[in-house]
Amino acid sequence: MRTTLADLAAKEEKSFEISLPDELPNVPGSEDELTQVFQNLIENAVKYGRRQSKVSVSASISQKMAGLNGPALVIEVSDEGEGIPQHHIPRLTERFYRVDTHRSRNKGGTGLGLAIVKHIINRHRGRFSIASTEGVGSRFIVALPMS
C-alpha cells in the first residue's frame, strides 16, 4: 500500500497553509526533478514537525537574489518542529548525515533526502538554504532562476 503525503499529514495531524501568487511563473528545468524536491521538503516538514502543527508552503518572486542573475521564484517550506541546532545546519545536505539517527530511522529517513534536494537545485542553477530556530521550527528555501 502506498502512503501519500496527505495520508502522512492526516496521521501526524498536520494542517497546511499555502500562500502562492495567483500565477506562478515558469522556471526552466525538469518537472520530475523539481517535483521530487518539493515532495521531499514537504514530506520532511510533515515528518519532523510537531504533531497537530502546521506546514507552510509559500512562493514569491524576487527580482534580485544573491548568487543568481535576474529574477527568481522563491519557494519556502516551513515546519513547526523542534528546530535544528545551528551546528548541524551546514552538514544537513551531506549524504547520509542525520541530526538524530534514532528519530530519523523511526520516521523512515535515510539521510539522503536533503542531499538529493541540494543536487537537483544546483543542477537547475538555483540556491538552497536552511534556517532554523530551536523550539520554533525550520524553513527550507529554494530559489530558482526564472530565465
Residue 56 belongs to a domain = yes
Q: Which domain holds residue 78?
A: 27-145
Dihedral pair phi/psi, residue 125, rounded to 5°: 60, 35
Residue 33 belongs to a domain = yes
Q: Say how many domains are in the chain.
A: 1
pTM of the model: 0.87
Please spell the DSSP secondary structure of 38-77, one letter per residue. Answer: HHHHHHHHHHHBPTT-EEEEEEEEES--TT-SS-EEEEEE
147 residues of the chain, pLDDT tens digit each: 456 788 888 888 999 999 999 988 989 999 999 999 999 999 999 999 999 999 999 999 999 887 888 899 999 999 999 999 999 988 888 887 777 644 444 555 667 889 999 999 999 999 999 999 999 999 999 999 997
CATH number where 58 lies: 3.30.565.10
Which three cell numbers, joined as nine digits, stand for 14?
498536520
Residue 13 belongs to a domain = no
Residue 124 belongs to a domain = yes
State the Cα–Cα distance between residues 90 and 129, nearest whole angstrom: 9
State the Cα–Cα distance between residues 8 and 44, nearest whole angstrom: 11
